[in-house]
Amino acid sequence: MSSNLLPIVKSQHKILIHRPFSSSHRSYNAVHLSTKDHHVLDETPQRSSASYDSAIAASCRSGHVSESCALLSRMMALNLRPTRFTFVPILSSQPLDFSCGTHLHSLLIKTGLVHSDPYSATALMGHYATHRGFEEAVKLFDEMPVRTLVTWNCIIAGFSQTGFVQDSFVLFRELLRSEFGPSESSFLSVLSGFQSSESSCLLEQVHGLVLRLSMGSYSGVSNALLYAYSNCFTDTVSERLFGDLSVKDLVTWNTIIAGFSRSAMPERALEFFFEMLSQGVSLNENTLASVLVACIALNSLVCGELIHAKAVKHNLSTSVYVGSSLVDFYAKSKRWEDAYAMFSEVPNKNVVTWNALITGYSNKDSSDMLVLVREMLCSGFRPNEFTFSSILRKASALDLWQLHSLVIRMGYENNDYVSTALISSYDAHDMTSDALACTSASDCSIHVAPSNVLAGIYNRMGRYKDTKELLLQLQYPDTISWNILIASCAKNGEYSEALQLFKRLQIAGNLLDNYMAVSLLSICSKINNHGLGSTLHGLIIKTNAGYSETFVSNVLMDMYAKCGSLKSCLRVFREMGERNLMSWTSLISGFGLHGRMNEALETFMQMKSDGYRPDKVAFLAALSACRHGGSVEHAMLLFENMKNVYGIEPEMDHYIILVDLLCGYGHLKEAEKMIYGMPFQPNPVIWRIFLRGCQTYHQFL
In a domain, 676, yes or no: yes
Task: Give the DSSP H/E element, type plus range, for residue 480.
Answer: helix 479-491
| Inside any domain, residue 689 | yes
Task: From 686, 680, 614, 667, select the one nearest 643 (Cα to Cα).
Answer: 614
Asked if residue 30 belongs to a domain, the reply is no
pTM to 2 decimal places = 0.67
Sorted by sequence, the CB contacts under 8 Å of residue 135 that are 6+ apart come out as none
Residue 692 in any domain: the answer is: yes
For residue 680, tell me if it sits in a domain. Answer: yes
- Taking CA 538 as the corner, what is the angle to CA 534 and CA 543, rounded to the nearest 5 degrees? 145
In a domain, 585, yes or no: no
Count of structural domains, the chain: 1
pLDDT at 43: 55
Q: Average of pLDDT values for 76-90?
A: 83
Using alpha carbons only, give the angle 257, 263, 264 rounded to the nearest 5 degrees: 130
Q: What is the mean pLDDT of residues 555-560?
A: 94
HEC-encoded secondary structure of 637-693: HHHHHHHHCCCCCCCHHHHHHHHHHHHHCCCHHHHHHHHHCCCCCCCHHHHHHHHHH
User: In angstroms, rounded to a whole number, what is the distance separating the alpha carbons of residues 446 and 261?
Assistant: 35
**pLDDT 10s digits, 189-248:** 999 888 877 778 888 899 999 999 999 889 999 999 999 888 886 778 889 999 988 889
The phi, psi pair for 364, rounded to 5°, reads: -100, -65
* Residue 163: predicted pLDDT: 81
Q: What is the pLDDT of residue 73?
A: 84
The amino acid present at 205, given as its one-letter code, is Q
Q: Is residue 653 part of a domain?
A: no
For residue 121, is pLDDT > 90? no
Nearby residues of 304 by Cβ (< 8 Å), 6 or more positions away: 292, 295, 296, 326, 329, 330, 333
pLDDT at 400 > cutoff 70: yes
Is-contact 423 435, C-beta < 8 A? Answer: yes
pLDDT, tens only, 574-597: 998 889 999 999 999 999 999 999
Q: Is the pLDDT of residue 21 over 50?
A: no
Backbone angles phi, psi at 595, to 5 degrees: 75, 15
Is 52's pLDDT higher than 70?
yes
466 in any annotated domain: no
**Domain range for residue 680?**
663-698
Find the angle CA(663)-CA(664)-CA(669) to the nearest 5 degrees. 25
Torsion sign (Cα): 30, 31, 34, 36: negative
One-character DSSP codes across 597-650:
HHHHHHHHHHHHHTTPPP-HHHHHHHHHHHHHHT-HHHHHHHHHHHHHTS-PPP
Confidence class for position 47, pLDDT limits 50, 70, 90: low
